[in-house]
Structures are given as C-alpha cells and as structure tokens.
Chains A and B, each alone.
Chain A
Amino acid sequence: MVVDHETPSLENGQTDKEVEENANVLQFMDSMDAYLTLIHSLSSTLRRGWLELASARHSMGASRVNTVLLDHTSHPAATSLLVTQDEGKVDSGKPHFTLCKWASSSNENSLLGEKQSSQDKLHPQLRHRGSTELCEEKTSSENKASREVDDPVQKERSKSLSMFGTLVSPKLRAAQLSFEAALETLVEIANMRSEMLCAFDQVNMKLEGRKDEK
C-alpha cells in the first residue's frame, strides 16, 4: 500500500491546519477550566485557614496573634520559588514556577532527601520473598530519611510560629498548614495562568491571521 504524504490528511473533512487550531482552542478551554477549578479550591483552603487563625486568636488572645509581633529584623524568606523557562519551547516566553517550602540554606540536604524519597516512590523496589530483613532495613532507613527530612522542616515551621510565642495554640499550627496548602495551590494557579495566556495567544494569532486573509 502506497501512502501519499504530500496531500494533507483529511479527518472528517478537516485539514491538518484546522485540527491544529481546534487543538489550540481545546487547550485554551481546558486551561481556563483548570484555572477556575484551582481558584475555587484555593478559596476553600483559605477559608479554612482564616477560620483556624480566628480560632487561634480567640484561644490565645488578640494581643498574642497580632501584626505588631511580626519580625521586622532582616531575614530571608523560608519559602521561595524556583522560576524556570518552560521546557516546551525555548522562545515560548512561558515561565514555570516551583514552590520550595521551608528551603533555607540549612535545609538544602532536606530538599535532596525529599527528592530522593520522591524518586523512590516513582520507582518502587520489588519485594523479594526470603529477604524480609533486607526489606525491613530498607523500610527503616527510608523512615529515618523521611524523619531527617521532616526535622529541619519542623524546625523551620516552629521558628515561624515562634513569632507568636513559645507555646501556641494547635489551631495556629493548623492554620500554618492550611496556608502552606494554599501556597501550593497558588503556584499551580500561576503555572495554569501561564498556560492559559500562552494558549490564548496561539488562538489569537490564528484568528488574526484569518482576519487578515479576509
């Protein structure tokens, strides 16, 4: 069977160009839908965080959970962002954000530990019958590694909470976790925003080209 590669492929009467245009449109609609879904998720996470913060203020007292107590001495942010260019195209102009939680200079090892544990999750070890001791050793070493990773993170969390005193309400700790979750959602929103704007530009370019043809 001879396949003719010169004539454009027809699929339900559509040319390759139209298929590409439809793909751009679908990508734009998908990214916009994902953006709105993430915003909705963020709203509920923030509501939970505000409620927990209000509960903490109620139990600890308004004077103990107050902006007057904020640390105004020079200090770097413990949670920051890694900004890279999108890997799809060099000139895409699309940034990609990655959240680095509790990533102070002393926690570089903890970040590497988290990477290792996440890689181990992607490539799980096969279970070997008769070598249960080895598996248990591995499990205990993984647990030790995750504990080692968690300890500096817990230290950073405690340091952040300490601006409101040594003994804080469990609600304040819960609020901290809620706002951490909100940060993760926000970074996803930022990436989805970039995708949406990129897809929007693609659709616009096609529409402007069609308008010029007319």
Chain B
Amino acid sequence: MILSWGLADNTASTFKSSSMANTAHIPTSNSALIAMIADEETVVGFLLAGVGNVDLRRKTNYLIVDSKTTVKQIEDAFKEFTTRTDIAIVLISQYVANMIRFLVDSYNKPIPAILEIPSKNHPYDPAHDSILSRVKHLFNAESVASTRH
C-alpha cells in the first residue's frame, strides 16, 4: 500500500522549519509547569487540580480570559508563557487561540507544547487546530487526484 500525496511548493519551507524545530535539543525538567490561557471555569477547574503556580514576583502561570481581556493581553501572555523555561505545556482555549491565530500557527517549538482545548461555550473544532492544520496538507484532495492521472 503506497499513498501518494502531492506537495504544494509553498509548503516545503514550512515542513523544513518543522523538521528543524523538532530536531532541536529538548530541555528536560522534573518540575515543569502547565500554563493556561482560558476562560474562568476552565482555569478555576485546573487550579483545583493543583496546577496553579505563583512565583516570588507574584507572576502566575495562568491568564483568565473574559470579556474585558484585550487581544494584546492574550498575545503578551502567550509570548511570555512560550518563552519561559519552566513551562512545558500551554493550554489555550481554542476560541482564545483563534484571536491570536497567526501567533499560535507560527509557533513550532516542541517545548512548551501548545494544546488547544474546548471551552464551555465553544466546542472543539478540528478544522481550527494548529497541529491538524499543519498536517492536513498531506491530505490535499486535488494533489491526490492529480498524481493519479
């Protein structure tokens, strides 16, 4: 069984950068944090599960997003969490990720891992998932059809 896909020329560079990012050294840690950028219910729930961390400078590993939270605040939190060395996973509600979609899609490091999660009022949509968007190029129907003819 051999599945053939056609590759669009403009995707080659994306794949190369993905490969290069994945061969980067993995910083190992025995007490890495889980950061959250999500709505109040989700953050409170995970704080109950013990993931909340407040450092000596009163900086937290979470941002509660509500109607008053600006896109700039979300962007700043995302940039901060993805550059901190003590964070291994960033949970972000998918509807929040959609507000900063360009930033999320352009992120390609293995650590911290960005996981898009559903929220109470916005169910998960695989079409918007950053990781699935990256790999869906392999399932380009037009390319499959063109290679068969």
Chain A positions within 8 Å of B, measured between CB atoms, are 18, 21-22, 25, 28, 32, 35-36, 39, 42-43, 46, 49-50, 53-54, 65, 67, 70-85, 91-95, 97, 100-103, 156-157, 160-161, 172, 175-176, 178-180, 182-183, 186-187, 189-190, 193-194, 196-198, 200-201, 203-205, 207-208, 211
Chain A residues within 8 Å of B52, by CB: 70-71, 75, 77
- Which residues of chain A have C-beta atoms less than 8 A from B46's C-beta? 179, 182-183
Looking at chain B's contact residues, is the secondary structure mostly helix, strand, loop, or mixed? mixed
Q: How far is the CB of B136 from chain A (nearest CB, A)?
A: 10
**Total number of B residues with any Cβ neighbor in A under 8 Å:** 62
A18 to B4, CA, bound (A): 12
Separation of A167 and B143 alpha carbons in the complex (Å):
61
Cα distance, A67 to B60, chains bound together (Å): 13
Chain A residues touching B, majority SS: helix
Across-interface contacts of B124 in A (CB, < 8 A): 39, 43
Set of chain B residues within 8 Å of A22, measured between Cβ atoms = 1-2
- Contact status of A76 and B53, CB under 8 A, knowing A81-B88, A178-B45, A200-B138: yes
Q: Would you call B115 and A53 a contact (CB within 8 A)? A: no
Do residues A93 and B22 form an inter-chain contact, with CB atoms below 8 A?
yes
Given contacts A53-B44, A74-B56, contact A82 B29 (CB under 8 A): yes
Contacts of B21 in A (CB 8 A): 93
Contact A186 B91, CB 8 Å, known A74-B56, A94-B110? yes
Q: Given A179-B48, A186-B89, A186-B91, A50 and B120 touching (CB < 8 A)?
A: yes
5 pairs, CB–CB < 8 Å, chain A vs chain B: A77-B61, A92-B23, A197-B134, A200-B134, A201-B19
In contact, B2 and A21 (Cβ under 8 angstroms)? yes
- Asked whether A46 and B118 contact (CB < 8 A) given A83-B32, A175-B45, A203-B138, the answer is yes
Q: A81 and B49: CB pair below 8 A? A: no
Q: Are B51 and A43 in contact (CB under 8 A)?
A: no
CB-CB under 8 A for A190 and B113, given A82-B29, A93-B24, A175-B45: yes
A50, A71, A156, A175 pick with most chain B CB within 10 angstroms: A50
Across the interface, B88 reaches (CB within 8 A) one of A25, A93, A97, A161, namely: A97
> With A95-B110, A160-B50, A196-B131 given, is the CB distance from A81 to B29 under 8 Å?
yes
Q: Which residues of B contact A32 (CB under 8 A)?
A: 132, 135
